[in-house]
Amino acid sequence: MPLLIKNGRIITADADYHADIYCASEQITRIEETIDAGSLPDDTEVIDACGKYVFPGFIDPHVHVHLPFMGTSAKDDHESASRAAIVGGTTTYIEMICPAPDQEPMSAFNEWQGKAQGQSSCDYSFHLGVVRFDDIARDQIRTIVRDYGIASFKVFLAYKGALNISDENLFDLLTIGKELGVITTAHCENATAIAAMQHKLLKEGKTGPEWHEPSRPVRVEAEGVHHLATFAELTGAHVYAVHTSCAAAINEARAAQARGVKLWVESVIPHFALDKTHAEQDNFEGAKYVMSPPLRDRENHDALWAALYSGVISTIGTDHAPFDFKGQKDMGKDNFTLIPNGIPSIQERVDLLYNLGVRTGRIDLNTFVRVASTNAAQIFGLTNKGTIAVGADADLVIYDPDHEHRISVTTQESRVDYNAFEGWDLTGRAEVVTVRGSIMARAGRFVGEPGRGMHIKRQPNHF
């Protein structure tokens, strides 16, 4: 059905103006000061967006949906995760494929794609996790990039003995990435240092969730960013540091960028909204807030906001990884290293960023769109996403800046049994959300066609 959005204030990464938008055949086909509804097909739906913003659909560049981890599996599937994303204003996400150490890359891709296809209601793509390095793996990696449009890799400089990558293999993969024009995303810590510190703390009887952060302090993360940047500089590869949490890591990234390293930086909304005191709560409540890198001292927030404002940080994602408090997080009741990592936030990201950033004056509306949508589209080759322009996909968010609401586990779409932001009062909400011109959410409720999302093939663009 064609769609006409009238009287809205259109906000993109570099523009702010009032106009009408007409969508047909899944794309934006007209943007004009005034479009007469009477001149359009009879079945056109008309939405009055007076007093509201019209944003391009938001993009989450870092989610986990299908996630086997520490002997259990994340609670969401693509049906629930995509509903949560859409209700929160996110119309496209990029999921991390996290294969087992001996799994062939093609097998992993088929497994993750099989979980998403026909289930996701928003559009999606993947970062290909690479943990295996042999001739079979190298051949399959090239095939996946060429034939399936996967234009980004993922590596871990953490999780010793499970997912971490050796320096030899890191150099090899970055060299392949440079050749193929693929950007490599990386979890930047130091696996050996973390393992040693975890062992020391547990031996001292320090087993609760409050010891998760001391086991992987800021210097460990900063060293990981420095390490990644060094290898990127040596190979000429393009790299992307995920979920950057602290001033020390930002300083390493800024220094690398200043000397010409092709490094992009992501942070995630929990690191702007929460701090390590949440993970220090009594009665094991802190386990709800265990993620890696961990929540930091609140003094790091100013550095993150400054880096976001200056452009050192390019994107804000979630690292959405939903594990129940009861029955999953409590696997680590007597050993914090066994707590499944993750703070679910796929539905809350946009509203939290709007409240903590735009409403406080830390960032303007254009920056808001840039870091929550447009930059991710450009970095990861989502060519028809992240903007409002004729010919772009009709992924749109009509946003009411004055709507007051309260976050609650009782109203979330995610299947996890808690909400890390329970009881937070926010102002601003996505009122209408479209994916390729089809209305998928209204007034905070999912109303769309389930499973309508498409796998978006991307072209490598980082040569």
- Tokens 């906001």 sit on residue: 305
Residue 184's DSSP bridge partners are 153, 239
CB 440 within 8 Å of CB 86: yes
Q: For residues 440 and 351, what is the distance between their CA atoms, to the nearest angstrom?
A: 18
HSE-CB for 384 with a 13 A CA cutoff: 19
Instruction: Give the burial class of 324: count Cβ atoms within 10 A of its Cβ; 0-12 exposed, 13-18 middle, 19 or more buried.
Output: middle
Inside any domain, residue 138: yes
Inside any domain, residue 145: yes
Residues 19 and 123 in one domain: no
Q: For residues 189 and 227, what is the distance between their CA atoms, to the nearest angstrom?
A: 9
Residue 209 tokens, joined: 């969730």
Q: For residues 58 and 297, what is the distance between their CA atoms, to the nearest angstrom?
A: 28
Inside any domain, residue 457: no
Which residue range(s) make up the domain with 363? 57-379
Smallest CA-to-CA distance from 107 within 60, 145, 144, 67 is with: 144
Residues 331 and 362 in one domain: yes
Residues 42 and 136 in one domain: no
Inside any domain, residue 439: yes
Q: For residues 300 and 11, what is the distance between their CA atoms, to the nearest angstrom?
A: 29
One pLDDT digit (tens) per residue for the chain, 463 residues: 899 999 999 999 999 999 999 999 999 999 999 999 999 999 999 999 999 999 999 999 999 999 998 789 999 999 999 999 999 999 999 999 999 888 999 999 999 999 999 999 999 999 999 998 899 999 999 999 999 999 999 999 877 667 678 899 999 999 999 999 999 999 999 989 999 999 999 999 999 999 999 999 999 999 999 999 999 999 999 999 999 999 999 999 999 999 999 999 999 999 999 999 999 999 999 999 999 999 999 999 999 999 999 999 999 999 999 999 999 999 999 999 999 999 999 999 999 999 999 999 999 999 999 999 999 999 999 999 999 999 999 999 999 999 999 999 999 999 999 999 999 999 999 999 999 999 999 999 999 999 999 999 999 999 8
Q: For residues 97 and 99, what is the distance between their CA atoms, to the nearest angstrom?
A: 6
pLDDT for position 70: 76
Cis, bond preceding 293 (omega within 30 deg of 0) = yes
Residues 153 and 41 in one domain: no
Residues 81 and 225 in one domain: yes
Strand segments (E) across 27-182: 27-32, 45-48, 53-56, 58-63, 68-69, 72-73, 90-97, 123-129, 152-156
pLDDT for position 147: 97
Q: Is the four-CA dihedral 39, 45, 48, 49 of positive or negative sign?
A: negative
Inside any domain, residue 456: no
Domain with residue 406: its CATH number is: 2.30.40.10
Residues 133 and 91 in one domain: yes
Residues 26 and 65 in one domain: no
Residues 44 and 113 in one domain: no
Residues 65 and 39 in one domain: no
**Predicted TM-score (pTM) of this structure:** 0.97
Inside any domain, residue 368: yes
Residues 89 and 171 in one domain: yes
Domain with residue 271: its CATH number is: 3.20.20.140
Inside any domain, residue 451: no
Q: For residues 342 and 292, what is the distance between their CA atoms, to the nearest angstrom?
A: 7
Residues 142 and 246 in one domain: yes
Q: For residues 90 and 330, what is the distance between their CA atoms, to the nearest angstrom?
A: 30
Residues 38 and 74 in one domain: no
Inside any domain, residue 104: yes
- What stretch of H or E contains 82? helix 78-87
C-alpha distances in angstroms, 463 versus 11, 142, 176, 181, 383?
A: 31, 15, 11, 4, 16
Amino acid residing at 253: A
Backbone angles phi, psi at 112, to 5 degrees: -70, -40
pLDDT for position 206: 98
Q: How many domains does the chain have?
A: 2
Q: For residues 46 and 5, what is the distance between their CA atoms, to the nearest angstrom?
A: 6
Q: For residues 401 and 443, what is the distance between their CA atoms, to the nearest angstrom?
A: 13
